[in-house]
Chain A
Amino acid sequence: MAAPVGKAARGWSVLALGLRSVVPRLPGLTQVRWSRYGPEYRDPQIDKEYYRKPLAELTEEEKYEQELRKTQLIKAAPAAKTSSVFEDPMISKFTNMMMKGGNKVLARSLVTQTLEAVKRKQFEKYHAASAEEQATIERNPYTIFHQALKNCEPVIGLVPILRGGHFYQVPVPLPDRRRRFLAMKWMITECREKKHRRMLMPEKLSHELLEAFHNQGPVVKKKHDMHKMAEANRALAHYRWW
């Protein structure tokens, strides 16, 4: 019963409120990424602590929020999002990018095997090292993963802009999400293409992550190449209008 109500409400709200997305709706452009939910749908609250707070501790706004949620429409939580304490949004995004053909089971097992491989390599190094070096060796696979991807993020990117019939590569500051996406994309592409046929993905990925953690390796080199290209094209920076 909620579905027809939702659709009717959405039809009404689109007419009344007009546009609901940031990109201006031009005649030649169609929205590629859109959701079936209207703007009045609120995001689901996954956090367990939110629901565990006793009634006495809530402030006025939170009480109002909770009352409001009883009547508002709420989107369904995605299947991959859990209230587990071990959940990491970056790992989930990385798993989704590794996934091929909807095989999330395989992608997730590859990522967990990579984390395990990173951990084991670091443990071996730890036991082989002397006491002073042991303090510097990082063994947590999650910190290594985050730091490695942060080291691979480019600061500035190139965008093709059409001027006078030619496309020019213009240096442009990238938003956060684009940088994270590029880092993960480069890492995955590098590991898929530049490995030996018989080498397994977790082994190659763990090797690349450890190299990126130390600011070495092909992915960090690609980031530096991107920066150099942007530096070379800095005369075209005026073509940017935003």
Chain B
Amino acid sequence: MLKRMTRLVSGARQLDPGRLLHRGPQAPQSLAAHPDNQVPDGSPRAVSCTSEGDPVRTFNEACLMVRRPALELLRYLKNTNFAHPAVRYVLYGEKGTGKTLSLCHVIHFCAKQDWLILHIPDAHLWVKNCRDLLQSTYNKQRFDQPMEASSWLKNFKTVNERFLSQIKVQEKYVWNKRESTEKGRPLGEVVEQGLTRVRNATDAVGIVLKELKSQSRLGAFRLLVAVDGVNALWGRTTLKREDKSPVAPEELALVHSLRKMVRNDWHGGAIVLTLSQTGSLFKPRKAYLPQELLGKEGFDALDPFIPILVSNYSPKEFESCIQYYLENSWLQHEKAHTEEGKKELLFLSNANPGQLERLCAYL
């Protein structure tokens, strides 16, 4: 039991040179892997975390607690048979129990094993608060989202730098009268095209997803599709057309291509998904089960999947978390070191990791 509680201390020595992580204000963004252990000092470095503060700046390291759901997932991933269709794993649980960080742990593991990571940090950001919706050039019925698509392409590029030159495109794509990508060019060109011509960014994303899906069966690389907040793909959106009529999620090109990606009709990788009520639209606060958050349509689309429940801290995990905070001197209040203080923290947070973090922030 105790072995499982040892922390994955990817300290500043390993994590900074080995990882390029992007920072989001409230949502985590992609995780990158560099094969070699040296990173130039000028490289951008930020942190994948769900809270406001930046643990790398605060503690000079970024640590994850190794917990049972993540270990279970890693065991399944290690034993995947790549000839079979991709298995879908869905992490679900109440608010603040650690679903997103378990996903990050799995991504870290796969990155270390040199998989190609397709990470969407928060699918809810694609269905709300979009300033510019363009009519899609590829299909008149659908809508493009240039800003979201280009920021995702930027993250994708940093994460999977070395695969972009290896994977070749299998079809010719014509962007407009003057620009086109020939068959056999590296995928990096498609990404560049999406980044430079922001109008075509959504189509570039669609092409990237299609190519990766068709080429993963060839066995040159292993593909991990990681989506956080996958219930956004089958919910409702808050976006409206010019005549104020609501937009359904399937009318968004990004959502359409992502839905195709999450289907299990390809092999050579795995799909790890997380449900999240926090950013979701029109869902009750207490909903956390897959049926409640995905709705009938989403559940049928994702069926069959392997559900993995992420729950609150067990007593040992709680103790371990408090010890970590005490070692880093994050808990500065003199009463926090006492038994009384620990009992009170347990009572106030109910062993919920998110709540405990918010409590310890000001103690």
Cβ-defined partner of A120 (8 Å) among B58, B60, B344: B58
Cβ-defined partner of B362 (8 Å) among A84, A116, A123: A116
B16-72 residues with Cβ-Cβ distance < 8 A to A are 53, 57-60
Distance between Cα atoms of A119 and B332 in the complex (Å): 9
Distance between Cα atoms of A142 and B363 in the complex (Å): 8
Distance between Cα atoms of A86 and B338 in the complex (Å): 11
A198 CB-CB contact with B under 8 Å:
no
Cβ contacts under 8 Å, B340 to chain A: 85
Distance between Cα atoms of A177 and B340 in the complex (Å): 30
Number of interface residues of B (CB under 8 A): 18
Distance (whole angstroms) from the CB of B279 to the closest CB of chain A:
21
Asked whether B362 lies within 8 Å of A127 as measured between CB atoms, the reply is no
Cβ-defined partner of B344 (8 Å) among A84, A127, A142: A84
Main secondary structure of the interface of B (DSSP, over half): helix
Given that A120-B58, A123-B58, A139-B332 are known contacts, is A85 also in contact with B362, CB under 8 Å in the complex? no
Given that A85-B341, A124-B57 are known contacts, is A140 also in contact with B335, CB under 8 Å in the complex? no
Asked whether A142 lies within 8 Å of B332 as measured between CB atoms, the reply is yes
B326 CB-CB contact with A under 8 Å:
no
Distance between Cα atoms of A149 and B361 in the complex (Å): 21
Distance between Cα atoms of A127 and B328 in the complex (Å): 12
A92 CB-CB contact with B under 8 Å:
no
Nearest to B348 among chain A residues (CB) is A84
Q: Per-residue 0/1 for A47-85: is the Cβ within 8 Å of any B Cβ (1 yes, 0 no)? A: 000000000000000000000000000000000000011
Asked whether B344 lies within 8 Å of A141 as measured between CB atoms, the reply is no
Q: Per-residue 0/1 for A91-112: is the Cβ within 8 Å of any B Cβ (1 yes, 0 no)? A: 0000000000000000000001
Asked whether A142 lies within 8 Å of B361 as measured between CB atoms, the reply is no
Asked whether A85 lies within 8 Å of B335 as measured between CB atoms, the reply is yes
Distance (whole angstroms) from the CB of B206 to the closest CB of chain A:
38
B260 CB-CB contact with A under 8 Å:
no
Main secondary structure of the interface of A (DSSP, over half): helix
Distance between Cα atoms of A123 and B334 in the complex (Å): 17
Distance between Cα atoms of A85 and B60 in the complex (Å): 30
Distance between Cα atoms of A112 and B358 in the complex (Å): 10
Nearest to A140 among chain B residues (CB) is B332
Distance between Cα atoms of A119 and B60 in the complex (Å): 15
Cβ contacts under 8 Å, B57 to chain A: 120, 123-124, 127
Distance (whole angstroms) from the CB of B43 to the closest CB of chain A:
19
Distance between Cα atoms of A124 and B59 in the complex (Å): 8
Asked whether A127 lies within 8 Å of B60 as measured between CB atoms, the reply is yes
Q: Per-residue 0/1 for B351-363: is the Cβ within 8 Å of any A Cβ (1 yes, 0 no)? A: 0000000000111
Distance between Cα atoms of A85 and B361 in the complex (Å): 16
Asked whether B361 lies within 8 Å of A119 as measured between CB atoms, the reply is yes
Number of interface residues of A (CB under 8 A): 16
Q: Per-residue 0/1 for B318-330: is the Cβ within 8 Å of any A Cβ (1 yes, 0 no)? A: 0000000000010
Nearest to B54 among chain A residues (CB) is A120
Distance (whole angstroms) from the CB of A189 to the closest CB of chain B:
23
Distance (whole angstroms) from the CB of B195 to the closest CB of chain A:
31
B84 CB-CB contact with A under 8 Å:
no
Cβ contacts under 8 Å, A139 to chain B: 329, 332
Cβ-defined partner of A86 (8 Å) among B60, B329, B333, B361: B333
Distance between Cα atoms of A85 and B344 in the complex (Å): 8
A115 CB-CB contact with B under 8 Å:
yes
* Best-buried of B53, B336, B338 by chain A (most CB within 10 Å): B53
Cβ contacts under 8 Å, A84 to chain B: 344
Distance (whole angstroms) from the CB of A208 to the closest CB of chain B:
17
Cβ contacts under 8 Å, A120 to chain B: 53, 57-58
Asked whether A119 lies within 8 Å of B362 as measured between CB atoms, the reply is yes
Could you name 28 residue pairs across A and B whose Cβ atoms are closer than 8 Å? Answer: A85-B338, A85-B340, A85-B341, A85-B344, A86-B336, A86-B341, A86-B344, A112-B361, A113-B362, A116-B53, A116-B361, A116-B362, A119-B361, A120-B53, A120-B58, A123-B57, A123-B58, A123-B59, A124-B57, A127-B60, A139-B329, A139-B332, A140-B332, A140-B333, A140-B334, A141-B332, A141-B362, A142-B333
Q: Besides A123-B57, A141-B332, A142-B332, 7 other CB < 8 A contacts?
A: A85-B335, A85-B344, A86-B336, A112-B362, A116-B53, A127-B60, A141-B362
Chain B residues within 8 Å of A, Cβ to Cβ: 53, 57-60, 329, 332-336, 338, 340-341, 344, 361-363
What 3 A-B pairs are tightest by C-beta distance, nearest first? A140-B332, A115-B362, A112-B362
